[in-house]
Amino acid sequence: MATAPVPESKNSPVDFANEQIPQHVAIIMDGNGRWAQRNNLPRIEGHRRGSQTANRVIEECQRLGVRQLTLYCLSNENWKRPTAELEFLMHLLQQFMIESRAEMIERKIKLSIIGRRDKLPRDVQIEMDKSIEMTSKFEDFCLCLAINYGSRQEIVDAVKKIAQDSATGELDPATIDETKISESLYTNGMPDPDLLIRTAGEMRLSNYLLWQSSYAELWVTERCWPEFRNEDLHASLRDYSNRIRRYGGLV
């Protein structure tokens, strides 16, 4: 896992071929609260600034030719946080769905959501469904938001589904393989991540896309998410383009 230096130049050219661009980038957007505290700001301001960073990264990934971007917005463990902070996060999410809808349609961005929806406020779910429906026909670029998501929880849900299908006779247990498990996950139909980025210097996956990231290339920066720049994204993609992906074999 690389802890990447951050180029400080204003212009960071993307100097690699299109075939070296990862098709699926997943990001753990960490450090909003820490950034706010370091700057003597309330934690919610860190989330507000982090939302602005997300908008910039979404636009830049689409511009560069990434096919899917998956953002870890809220884990199922984050409900332990203060109520006021969680209410603000729900407000930000609903605001994003409403205010970004027209732009997603104009830019032909397909929206998908993974995670358990039942704990989210009903008005947030309604806006999510509207955006998902209105962008469902687009294919070139997918924005996937992991909300109330946990990878172990996802695997448990997949196992329950497979067990139920086996119990009713719809599935022969002898036919269960990696493909069947992948098809039972929230991410069914999505490609596995090629590159997984984590901000704020933490060296762990935090229960994020554990099955799907088995062969993802990991890239970590000390920068907190609100201060993550396009130059940092370019640095991660450049580092990715120089790696050799063996998948357990030899090149």
Burial class of residue 142 (count of CB atoms within 10 Å of its CB; 0-12, 13-18, 19+): buried
pTM: 0.90
pLDDT recorded at residue 10:
42
Indicate the class that CATH gives domain 21-150+192-241: alpha beta
- Annotated active-site residue 30? The verdict is yes
The CA-based angle 210-154-25, given to 5 degrees, is: 45
Rounded-to-integer distance, Cα 195 and Cα 23, Å: 8
* Other CB atoms within 10 A of residue 233 CB: 23
The amino acid that residue 130 corresponds to is K
Q: What is the pLDDT of residue 6?
A: 38
Q: Is 172 assigned a catalytic role?
A: no
Name the catalytic one among 15, 18, 30, 172: 30
Beta strands in the chain (DSSP E): 2-3, 24-28, 68-75, 109-114, 141-149, 195-198, 217-220
Output the pLDDT for position 14.
61
What angle separates helix 122-134 from helix 83-99, to the nearest 10 degrees? 30
Residue 15 pLDDT:
60
167 CA to centre of own chain:
34
What is the Cα gyration radius of the chain?
Answer: 19
Distance (Å, rounded) from C-alpha 203 to C-alpha 225?
Answer: 15
215 touches 245 (CB < 8 A): yes
Contact partners, residue 172, CB within 8 Å, separation at least 6:
166
| CB-based contact 217:240 (threshold 8 Å) | yes
Q: Domain extents for the chain? A: 21-150+192-241
Q: What region does 52 belong to: left with phi over 0, alpha with psi -120 to 50, or beta?
A: alpha
CA gap 48, 52 in Å, rounded: 7
Average pLDDT along the chain, 251 residues, taken 10 residues at a time = 41 59 97 96 95 97 97 92 92 95 97 95 96 97 97 97 97 96 97 98 97 97 97 95 76 63
List 18, 39, 55, 78, catalytic entry:
78
Residue among 65, 75, 62 nearest 28 (CA): 75
Contact 97, 128 (CB under 8 A): yes
